[in-house]
Structure 1
Amino acid sequence: MPTLTFLGGAGTVTGSKHLVSDGDARLLVDCGLFQGLKNLREQNWEPLPIRARDVDAVVLTHAHLDHSGYLPRLVRDGFSGRIHATPATCEVAALILRDSAHLQEKDAEYANRKGFSRHRPALPLYRSSDAERAIGRFAPTPPHREFRLPGEARCLLRRAGHILGAATVQMDIGGRRLVFSGDLGRYDDPVMFDPEPVPEADYVVIESTYGDRLHERIDPVQALGAVIERTVRRGGTVVIPAFAVGRTQSLLWYLWRLRQDGRLNNTPVYLDSPMATSATELMREWPDEHRLDPADYEAACVAVTCVRDVEESKALSANPYPKVIISASGMATGGRVLHHIAAFGRDHANTLLFSGYQASGTRGRALLAGRREVKMFGQWIPIAAEVTDLPMLSAHADSDELMRWLSGFRRRPERVFIVHGEPDASEALRVRIGRELGWNACVPREGQRFSL
């Protein structure tokens, strides 16, 4: 009888790891990093309940760090199987893992040089060499083409929207069919395709990031334009912490539409993230994976100045003129955006604009909650700038959209497991599933194991 064990992403929006076992087969769906609160981040350093070398294969729903970022550590600890994902996800994940390893090495080096870490010496969770070994285990698998996994399991991927290459996972094992939503995208999104329906499953594992909320039905172009215009009138700069993959490309599209409408005037837009720049180039390579017209997307990219060099980034922080800066990371947990927040966050003329979900314990969540001082680089930085967010820019399905996807199943599953959400969001979705669909749903705890 197969079992399902939740090793991460249970009771939190990060660290997604779902272990499916049957006989001698051990299959992991997603392998993400914990982010946000310190006690969550510290879990990245704890050994998994299963030895890495005993995991036979990994299936990735998509490339975001909270779903893929633990892979180099898994390989470092002895995993030697294949990592299955869509071809686009394999390319995007390669960018993300290389960047993650580089940042961890740089952060450890900086902490050691400045002496603000309590660890002597500070070490990275994994190194670039580990990331390269993980990338070498990728097995690109196109959507809608069934493939086999160890233990006679069969798998099928379908589009999930959300970001380039994202997929839902259908797994048949031990006479049971499991479906994992991964992160579901928005319906009628101008950039990504709708999540594809899944006809049937015995068990469904669904995310609940926005399980208790609805996105405002407001045109994101108009909302973004209003924030930029009022900031520029003050003579300020708009700093947008953005996820390098997904949100950045949508933002570039919205900003281009604003420019087409004559609303940006001469306000320059800078993309200060080498990884986001590379991800933006990947959109050109995968035109069938999104809705954007290639010519229009090319025009949107040309209208932006890409900053790759560190010295150029420093000069941008010193530039006093009104502008828009898009930089990673999206929750202000690391990357170049921290230097821009330190530079521009002190002045009330500027704006810090968040464009996606901010997990508990991140600087982004703290700033949106009203914190007027944040700790970065071992020191406290005062924040006087306007801090706002545009939740309608999120790439995550809201509560109505999650229910819409679930309604696509033609028969009632035996059980729905609700993951990848903070407790209130997951519980709200559980109640709604029971009330509106009459299905048996539960919110698993981390480490909880279920017989299927």
Structure 2
Amino acid sequence: MKVSLQFLGAAHCVTGSKYLLTLARGRQRQQVLIDCGLFQGLKELRLRNREPLPVQPAEIDVVVLTHAHIDHCGYLPKLVRDGFQGRIFCTEPTVDLLSIMLLDSAKLQEEEAAFANAKGFSHHHPATPLYTQADVLRVLPLVESVAYDAPVSLFADALTFCFRDAGHILGSAIAELTVQGAEQRKQLVFSGDLGRYASPVLHDPTAITAADVLLVESTYGDRVTRSQDPEAELVGVVHEALARGGMLVVAAFAVGRTQTLLYYLKKLRQEGRLLLVPVYVDSPMGIRVSDLYPRHPGAHRLGHGNVFDFSGLRFVTEASESKQLNEKKGAAIIISASGMCTGGRIIHHLYHHLPRPEDTLLLIGYQAEGTRGRDLQDGATTVKMFGELVPVRCQVRHLDGFSAHADRQELLRWLGNFTVAPKCTFVVHGEPAAAQALAHTLREKSGWPNVVVPDYLETHVLFEGL
């Protein structure tokens, strides 16, 4: 058996995760796609979403998803529309999240295309979405749920996979794959996105002790983001913002970051450390995701019931109420998405609040290159939205401590669980500096052999004669 791996995304960037595993036995060939994400951020990356894959989607047998973030699952509707008819495996919470995430992604694309056509500022005539809500509905029947730690065998036992809790978002997983040849067995581990240790909401990432081949993410491979006291940092930003007499607008990912922020706001208010001002969650997807936590109590630390509710919290579902928020003045907190300020209701809030000196924008997640959030984090004085330049006069704050990604120290802690170094390690899902920094540490300080930062579309033969 010949086993090869091609990097269709998340190579020298943090989005577009797609890894094509091919098992070739004589005339037989099985192909497994681990993750199926959209490219985001820089235009040159986003354009890849519209390029044909170097493999025919109809020839892919199985998709294994580590979690439901769009950069890991958001290409699925296009894959299915282009001919994929196989099985899609993920954890049970991820099944619930997929329909929310993909339908929202399609809806945003449809709305943005319609708006661009109406305003005439698209470079494409007409502007078209990458996929539609109808395309999403063709994906969902192909999805099958798998419990954590429950092996699934494929291709007459030639391949077995198992999900382990990654602690990144609800339902996130590390994928362990075992390839069984005629005489040898090899283990491949795909880290997915690794979460943080001692999170108040999610479990620690599962320790993995052995692999022949490892793919490890490197989002924060070159920096430490663990705050000594994230609660105190949040209290400081909130008090500073409200003392200015304006609103605090928080750009938070609908999955994970919104729920973690609500946990902290609830806890701090109960302890009397925050002012009792209105808190609006203006993210329909964030609201639907929050409602999933009671359905999956084993996938997080918060237990049963309405784990996020507190006095003064209001979930905004109607678009009309969302628009009314921009007319309000005075002290309040608005939590909206997307976390990188690339789409969703946060755009309308930015349009109205960025020009107001009394208001504050808080970024609490990773901001990829080429996103509006990254521009704001880097100190942009104007940002473009709705075809016009909007001045940035408000205060912009950024807290790394609320990231859902393991930082450098936590990545090395997770990697330190391996009792023997993998024979080959691929450092993926990181911008070049971050990926190279982690790879250098593994080579020079940990003494790991054959550590590679792969290029986009690069193919590696992992095993021959298996």
Q: Same fold (TM over 0.5)?
A: yes
Which of the numbers 338, 341, 345 marks the counterpart of 2:354? 345
User: 1:358 deviation in Å?
Assistant: 0.2
Is the Cα contact below 8 Å between 1:57 and 1:149 reproduced in 2?
no
**Shift of residue 9, structure 1, vs aligned partner:** 0.4
Cα distance between partner residues in 2 of 1:150 and 1:386: 56
Contact 2:276 2:312 in 1 (8 A): no
Q: Residues 293 and 122 from structure 1, CA distance in 2 versus in 1: closer, same or farther, beyond 3 angstroms?
A: same
Matches within 5 A, 1:214-293: 214-293=224-303
- Mapped pair 1:11 → 2:22: no
Aligned-residue offset at 1:229:
0.7
Report the equivalent of 1:403.
412
The residue number in structure 2 matching 1:43 is: 48
Aligned-partner Cα distance in 2 for 1:37–1:52: 25
Correspondence for 2:221 among 193, 211, 216: 211
Superimposed CA distance per residue, residues 196-231 of structure 1 (whole angstroms, 9 cap, x where no aligned partner): 011211000000000000014322221111111111
Between Structure 1 and Structure 2, the one with more helix by share is: 1
Q: Distance in 1 between matches of 2:95 and 2:308?
A: 23
Aligned to 1:367: 376
State the shift of 1:149 in Å: 2.7
After superposition, where does 1:429-448 map in structure 2 within 5 Å? 429-440=438-449, 441-448=451-458
Give distance in 2, aligned partners of 1:299 and 1:347. Answer: 30
Displacement after TM superposition at 1:263 (Å): 3.0
Paired letter, 1:312: E
Sequence identity of aligned pairs in percent? Answer: 47
Q: What secondary structure does 2:389 align onto?
A: strand
CA distance in 1, matches of 2:136, 2:282: 23
- Distance in 2 between residues matched to 1:75 and 1:150, nearest whole Å: 21
SS of residue matched to 1:426? helix
Q: Distance in 1 between matches of 2:340 and 2:98?
A: 18
State the Cα distance separating 1:141 from its structure 2 match: 0.6
TM-score by length of 1: 0.98
**Displaced runs of 4 or more, over 6 A:** none
Cα distance, 1:303 vs structure 2: 4.5
Contact 1:17 1:30 in 2 (8 A): yes
Partner of 1:153: 159
- The answer to whether the Cα contact below 8 Å between 1:56 and 1:150 also exists between their aligned partners in 2 is no
User: Residues of 2 paired with 1:136 and 1:354: CA distance?
Assistant: 36
Look up the match of 2:197: 187
Alignment-derived partner of residue 128 in structure 1? 133
Contact 1:57 1:150 in 2 (8 A): no
Asked if 2 retains the 8 angstrom alpha-carbon contact of 1:214 and 1:400, the reply is yes
Helix, strand or coil at the partner of 2:250: strand
1:242–1:330 contact (8 Å) kept in structure 2 = yes
Q: Which amino acid aligns with 1:382?
A: P
TM-score (norm 2): 0.95
5+ residue gaps, structure 1, are: none
Offset from partner CA, 1:77-116 (integer Å, 9 cap, x none) = 0000011000111111211001001111111111111111
Are the aligned partners of 1:256 and 1:303 in contact in 2 as well (CA < 8 Å)? no
Alignment equivalent of 2:87, drawn from 82, 88, 91 = 82
The AA in structure 2 aligned to 1:375 is: K
Gaps of 5+ in 2: none
Q: Distance in 1 between the 2:98 and 2:301 partners?
A: 21
Q: Please give the root-mean-square deviation of Cα atoms over the aligned residues, in Å.
A: 1.2
Residue 355, structure 1, aligned to residue 361, structure 2? no
Which secondary structure state, in structure 1, belongs to the residue aligned with residue 78 of structure 2? helix
CA contact (8 A) 1:89 1:166 kept: yes
Is the 1:221–1:257 Cα contact (8 Å) retained in structure 2? Answer: no
The CA deviation string for residues 302-353 of structure 1, in whole angstroms up to 9 with x for no partner, is 6520001000000011111211111010000000001001111111111110
Structure 2 residue 119 is the aligned partner of structure 1 residue 111: no
Contact 1:220/1:254, CA 8 A, preserved across alignment: no
User: CA separation in 1, counterparts of 2:360 and 2:133?
Assistant: 34
Q: Could you list the per-position Cα deviations for residues 116-138 of structure 1 after superposition, in whole angstroms to 9, with x for gaps in the alignment?
A: 11211110000101111111110
Q: CA deviation at 1:295?
A: 5.2
Q: Distance in 2 between matches of 1:234 and 1:376?
A: 26
Letter matched to residue 223 of structure 2: R
Change (3 A) 1:9 1:149: same
Aligned-partner residue type, residue 428 of structure 1: A
Q: Is the 8 A contact 1:327 1:337 kept in 2?
A: yes
> CA offset at residue 400 of structure 1?
0.9
